């Protein structure tokens, strides 16, 4: 698969459901809470919508032919296809984009959502990163 190939329809559907769920969580809770609160509520909302969701998924990596099972954790993995990284920060940093891009490379997934809940309008806190 080439990086210029369109994303599978199912991945786009998962992203849409996840964004809609993030809107609901944000409209209910608003900004100003801890990232972990948003994570728990977003996972609940996604499961309520029938999604298979995992939290804090370990991502192994290989360095110099040695496999390491420590260090990296995805905040949320939706249907084993979409990575969702959450933040609750005042200012988004380029490091957050790099982190998600690294997770995409390590897992072989093509789409990730970076969602910052500490914004007045959630639409301003959502970034799509495609590999």
Does 128 have pLDDT greater than 80? yes
The answer, yes or no, to whether residue 104 has pLDDT greater than 80, is yes
Answering whether pTM is above 0.85, one says yes
Report the C-alpha gap between 129 and 36 in whole angstroms. Answer: 22
What is the reported pLDDT for 1?
54
SS3 125: helix
Q: What CATH number does residue 52 fall under? A: 3.40.1350
Residue 3 forms part of a structural domain: no
Domain assignment present for residue 96? The answer is: yes
Total domains in the fold of the chain: 1
Per-residue pLDDT tens digits for 72-93: 899 999 999 999 999 999 999 9
* Domain hosting residue 117, numbered range: 9-130
Give the Å distances, CA to CA, from 32 to 36, 38, 100: 12, 10, 23
Sequence-distant (≥ 6) Cβ neighbours of residue 15 within 8 angstroms: 82, 111, 113, 128
- The rounded distance, in Å, linking the Cα atoms of 26 and 31 is 7
Tens of pLDDT, residue by residue over 25-69, are 999 999 999 999 999 999 999 999 999 999 999 998 888 999 888
CA-based radius of gyration for the chain: 15
Which whole number is the average pLDDT over 5-25?
97
Task: Report the C-alpha gap between 6 and 2 in whole angstroms.
Answer: 9
Residue 73 lies in a domain: yes
1 found inside a domain: no
What pLDDT, on the 0 to 100 scale, is given for residue 3?
60
Residue pair 80/47 in contact (Cβ under 8 Å)? The answer is no
């Amino acid at each position: 698969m080439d990086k210029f190939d369109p994303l599978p329809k199912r991945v786009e559907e998962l992203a849409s459901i996840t964004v809609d769920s993030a809107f609901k969580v944000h409209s209910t809770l608003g900004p100003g809470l801890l990232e972990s609160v948003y994570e728990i509520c977003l996972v609940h909302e996604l499961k309520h919508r029938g999604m298979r969701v995992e939290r804090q998924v370990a991502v192994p990596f290989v360095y110099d032919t040695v496999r390491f099972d420590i260090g990296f954790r995805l905040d949320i993995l939706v249907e084993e296809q979409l990575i969702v990284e959450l933040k609750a920060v005042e200012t988004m940093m380029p490091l957050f984009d790099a982190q998600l891009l690294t997770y995409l490379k390590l897992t072989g997934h093509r789409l990730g959502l970076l969602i910052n809940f500490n914004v007045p309008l959630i639409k301003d806190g959502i970034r799509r990163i495609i590999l």
